[in-house]
Structure 1
Amino acid sequence: MKPRILVTGGSGLLAINWAIMLRDSYSVVLALHDRIIDLAGVETTKLNLDSVDDLVCAFDTLKPDIVVHTASLTSVEKCESSPTLAQFVNVELASNVAKASAIYGLPLVHISTDHLFQGVESLLDEPSAISPVNVYGRTKADAESRVLDICPGAMVIRTNFYGWGTRYRHSFSDVIINALRSGKALTLFHDVFYTPILIEELVLVVHQLLEMHESGVFHVVGDERISKFEFGMKLAREFSLDTSLITSGSFADQASLVQRPHDMSLSNQNVCKLLGRKLGDVNSHLSRLHLQEKNGLAQKLQEL
Structure 2
Amino acid sequence: MSVKTFLIVGVESVVGANLAASLCGQTRVVGVSTGSNISLPGCERATLERGSADAIHNCLQQTRATHVIFCGSAARSFGEPAGKAFENSEAVLWAAATAQEKRHFTLLSSDAVFTGPWMFHDENSTAMCPSAEATAIRQVETRVREACDNSLIVRTNAFGWSTSGSKGWLETLLSGMENNQPLELDPIRHATPILASDLADYLDPALDDELTGVFHIAGAERVSPHQFARQLASAFEVGSPATRTIRELAARPTGYGRGETSLQTRRFRSEYDCAMPLLNEGLTRLVEQNRSGYRDRLCGQTTRQDKAA
1:227 corresponds to: 224
1:216 aligns with 2:218: no
Q: Give the 3 Å change call, closer, same or farther, for CA 77–210 of structure 1 in structure 2.
A: closer
2:27 corresponds to: 26
Cα distance in 2 for partners of 1:140, 1:213 equals 22
1:56 corresponds to: 57
1:242 aligns with 2:243: no
Kindly state the Cα deviation for residue 247 of structure 1 after the two structures are TM-superposed.
Answer: 5.2
Kindly state the Cα deviation for residue 132 of structure 1 after the two structures are TM-superposed.
Answer: 2.5
2:307 corresponds to: none
Cα distance in 2 for partners of 1:120, 1:76 equals 23
1:127 aligns with 2:107: no
Cα distance in 2 for partners of 1:37, 1:248 equals 36
Question: Does the 8 Å contact 1:4/1:66 carry over to 2?
Answer: yes
Kindly state the Cα deviation for residue 98 of structure 1 after the two structures are TM-superposed.
Answer: 0.5
Kindly state the Cα deviation for residue 5 of structure 1 after the two structures are TM-superposed.
Answer: 1.0
Question: Does the 8 Å contact 1:95/1:147 carry over to 2?
Answer: yes
1:78 corresponds to: 83
1:164 corresponds to: 161
Question: Does the 8 Å contact 1:90/1:140 carry over to 2?
Answer: no
Question: Does the 8 Å contact 2:123/2:215 carry over to 1?
Answer: yes
Kindly state the Cα deviation for residue 78 of structure 1 after the two structures are TM-superposed.
Answer: 3.1
Matches within 5 A, 1:1-304: 2-72=3-73, 78-79=83-84, 86=85, 89-129=86-126, 131-167=128-164, 171-243=168-240, 245-246=242-243, 249-250=246-247, 260-303=257-300
Q: Which moved more, 1:42-51 or 1:264-273?
A: 42-51
Question: Does the 8 Å contact 1:229/1:248 carry over to 2?
Answer: no
Q: Which moved more, 1:268-277 or 1:28-37?
A: 28-37
Question: Does the 8 Å contact 1:52/1:100 carry over to 2?
Answer: yes
SS in 1 for 2:6: strand
Question: Does the 8 Å contact 1:22/1:28 carry over to 2?
Answer: yes
Cα distance in 2 for partners of 1:91, 1:290 equals 35
Question: Does the 8 Å contact 2:185/2:246 carry over to 1?
Answer: yes
**Normalised by the size of structure 1, how large is the TM-score?**
0.89
The RMSD of aligned alpha carbons is 2.4
Q: Percent identity?
A: 23
SS in 2 for 1:5: strand
The runs of 5 or more residues in structure 2 that have no matched partner are 302-309
The runs of 5 or more residues in structure 1 that have no matched partner are 80-85
1:83 corresponds to: none
Kindly state the Cα deviation for residue 260 of structure 1 after the two structures are TM-superposed.
Answer: 3.9
* Amino acid of the structure 2 residue aligned with 1:33: T
SS in 2 for 1:136: helix
Kindly state the Cα deviation for residue 177 of structure 1 after the two structures are TM-superposed.
Answer: 1.0
Cα distance in 2 for partners of 1:18, 1:8 equals 11
Cα distance in 1 for partners of 2:166, 2:8 equals 17
Kindly state the Cα deviation for residue 38 of structure 1 after the two structures are TM-superposed.
Answer: 2.2
Q: Give the 3 Å change call, closer, same or farther, for CA 293–104 of structure 1 in structure 2.
A: same
Deviation digits for residues 22-67 of structure 1, max 9, x if unmatched? 2222111111234212222211111234122221122121110110
Q: Give the 3 Å change call, closer, same or farther, for CA 114–244 of structure 1 in structure 2.
A: closer
Question: Does the 8 Å contact 2:91/2:144 carry over to 1?
Answer: yes
Cα distance in 2 for partners of 1:173, 1:76 equals 12
Deviation digits for residues 214-234 of structure 1, max 9, x if unmatched? 211011000111111111111
SS in 1 for 2:271: helix
* Amino acid of the structure 2 residue aligned with 1:72: S
Question: Does the 8 Å contact 1:201/1:279 carry over to 2?
Answer: no
Q: Which moved more, 1:190-199 or 1:5-14?
A: 5-14
Deviation digits for residues 103-144 of structure 1, max 9, x if unmatched? 011111101001112332111101112622322211111011
SS in 1 for 2:260: coil
Give the number of aligned pairs.
294
